């Protein structure tokens, strides 16, 4: 018997019922690391029980990925499986729900040639664009959950034996995902109501900007014209109500791509495509990153910023209280799904059209005119902590305290 059978069952049930809000008759496309086979199978079971006619699972293999960087010819890194992503996009256009199981080795590509890593990431981003556009425009219901990949567990808990590390990471995932309650689905419904109240408050205030201040940070983030705050459960264009991230603690909106000024320092490391970026520091002028450095992963950061025209501008700003259950674990997860829900954050790259009023009906040009950023990438990194204050700036320029010491006022 699977040693974590109870965990798998609870997480799969929440993934299908809360994360996807799966409708009878919907196909499901699952992407997962090969280590997550037990969870993928349990999710497939719950999806079929909910009336799905077909669940398709696509597995990634870290070991095979690493072999490419070790042995493939130099020309290989301009290639990506465009045919695969076109097929996934076709599935979503036809109404399939999308579920991703996160959890891979955060250090997989440490020591690999950063130039190759950057080229491979750019090729993948370009090929993945049809899928990314459908997700960021909320065409279908989608969600991300996590599975404790052994290499990930040992990165989080380096002083433990592998099995102990996996057990401890399971415990953290269960707690952060609100599965340690008698009725996790009801617990999630109550949590979504709280996030909805916060979203309603911010949408009522109609701030024109947010001002972040703290050690190494003095950042003014102008918000897009007709921006809309979102968070927790939301309704996709196909009518399904889903939670895109399990867990989630954030409320978020679209910055104005041309109205970000000042400097900011990351408060947690960023694990990106197998590379670790620590102590990121950037400076913005007129919405664009004009200076960038990092203690580790600086080469990867600079390559990311060269991805395309929109890679130097922001596509998301999110507020998360320092008292979130994920922050309170005291664990650095080295995984954006968790770490972004432990701290307020910003994202370089693509904006979500759902964060612009009527955005799903607007053309790319109309979205850009309102300030929504466009890019091949969307990379969240954490800028919040117990030392960060946030003010909301009213349209008249008045500053109102929103967060003090990382907590909601």
Q: What is the pLDDT of residues 373-388, one digit of tens each?
A: 999 899 999 999 999 9
Dihedral over Cα of 250, 255, 257, 260: its sign? negative
For the chain, the C-alpha Rg in angstroms (whole number) is: 20
Q: CA-CA distance, 96 to 22, in Å (whole number)?
A: 10
Dihedral over Cα of 203, 209, 213, 219: its sign? positive
Task: Identify whether 186 is part of a domain.
Answer: no
**168 & 219 share domain:** no
**258 & 388 share domain:** yes
Q: CA-CA distance, 96 to 31, in Å (whole number)?
A: 13
Q: What is the pLDDT of residue 5?
A: 85
What is the torsion angle, in degrees rounded to the nearest 10, for the CA atoms of residue 12, residue 18, residue 22 and residue 23? 140
Task: Identify whether 197 is part of a domain.
Answer: no
**Residue 64: which pLDDT band, with cuts at 50, 70 and 90?**
very high
**123 & 212 share domain:** no
Task: Identify whether 243 is part of a domain.
Answer: no
269: phi then psi, degrees, rounded to nearest 5: -65, 155
pTM summary value? 0.86
Give the mean model confidence (pLDDT) for residues 195-214: 97
Task: Identify whether 196 is part of a domain.
Answer: no
**159 & 222 share domain:** no
Give the mean model confidence (pLDDT) for residues 286-313: 95
Task: Identify whether 354 is part of a domain.
Answer: yes
Host domain of residue 388: 206-234+248-408
Q: What is the pLDDT of residue 136?
A: 83
Task: Identify whether 139 is part of a domain.
Answer: yes
Alpha carbon 371 to its chain's center: 21
Task: Identify whether 192 is part of a domain.
Answer: no
Task: Report the run of H or E that residue 399 belongs to, with start and end.
Answer: strand 399-404
**260 & 155 share domain:** no
Q: Provide the number of structural domains found in the chain.
A: 2
**138 & 214 share domain:** no
Q: DSSP string of 118-131?
A: HHHHHHHHHHHHHH
Task: Identify whether 201 is part of a domain.
Answer: no
Domain boundary residue, one of 138, 158, 176: 176
**227 & 374 share domain:** yes
Task: Report the run of H or E that residue 263 belongs to, with start and end.
Answer: strand 255-265
**74 & 218 share domain:** no
Q: CA-CA distance, 276 to 287, in Å (whole number)?
A: 25
Q: CA-CA distance, 405 to 382, in Å (whole number)?
A: 15
**114 & 215 share domain:** no
């Amino acid at each position: 018997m699977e040693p974590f059978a109870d965990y798998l069952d609870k997480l799969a049930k929440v993934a299908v019922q809360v994360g996807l809000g799966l409708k009878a008759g919907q196909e499901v496309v699952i992407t997962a690391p090969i280590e997550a086979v037990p969870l993928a199978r349990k999710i497939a079971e719950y999806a079929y029980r909910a009336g799905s006619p077909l669940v398709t699972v696509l597995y990634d293999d870290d070991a095979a990925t690493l072999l490419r960087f070790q042995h493939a010819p130099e020309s290989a890194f301009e290639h990506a499986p465009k045919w695969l992503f076109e097929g996934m996009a076709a599935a979503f256009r036809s109404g399939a729900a999308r579920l991703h199981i996160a959890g891979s080795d955060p250090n997989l590509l440490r020591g690999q040639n950063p130039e190759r890593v950057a080229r491979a990431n750019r090729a993948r981003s370009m090929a993945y664009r049809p899928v990314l556009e459908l997700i960021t425009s909320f065409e279908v219901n989608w969600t991300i959950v996590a599975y404790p990949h052994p290499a990930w567990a040992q990165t989080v808990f380096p002083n433990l034996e592998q099995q102990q590390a996996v057990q401890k990471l399971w415990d953290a995932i269960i707690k952060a995902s609100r599965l340690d309650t008698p009725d996790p689905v009801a617990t999630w419904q109550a949590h979504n109501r709280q996030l909805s109240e916060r979203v309603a408050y911010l949408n009522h205030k109609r701030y024109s900007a947010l001002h972040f201040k703290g050690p190494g940070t003095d950042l003014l983030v102008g918000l897009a014209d007709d921006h809309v705050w979102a968070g927790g459960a939301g309704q996709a264009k196909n009518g399904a109500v889903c939670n895109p991230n399990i867990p989630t603690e954030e409320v978020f909106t679209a910055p104005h791509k041309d109205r970000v000024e000042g400097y900011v320092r990351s408060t947690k490391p960023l694990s990106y495509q197998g590379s670790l970026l620590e102590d990121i520091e950037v400076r913005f002028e007129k919405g664009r990153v004009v200076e960038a450095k990092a203690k580790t992963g600086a080469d990867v950061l600079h390559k990311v910023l060269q991805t395309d025209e929109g890679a130097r501008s922001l596509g998301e700003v999110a507020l998360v209280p320092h008292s979130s259950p994920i922050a309170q674990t005291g664990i650095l997860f080295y995984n954006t799904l968790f770490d972004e829900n432990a701290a307020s954050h910003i994202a370089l790259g693509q904006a979500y059209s759902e964060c612009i009023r009527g955005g799903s009906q607007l053309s790319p040009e109309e979205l850009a005119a309102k300030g929504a950023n466009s890019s091949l990438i969307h990379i969240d990194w954490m800028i919040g902590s117990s030392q960060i204050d946030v003010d909301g700036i009213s349209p008249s320029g008045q500053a109102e305290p929103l967060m003090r010491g990382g907590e909601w006022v």
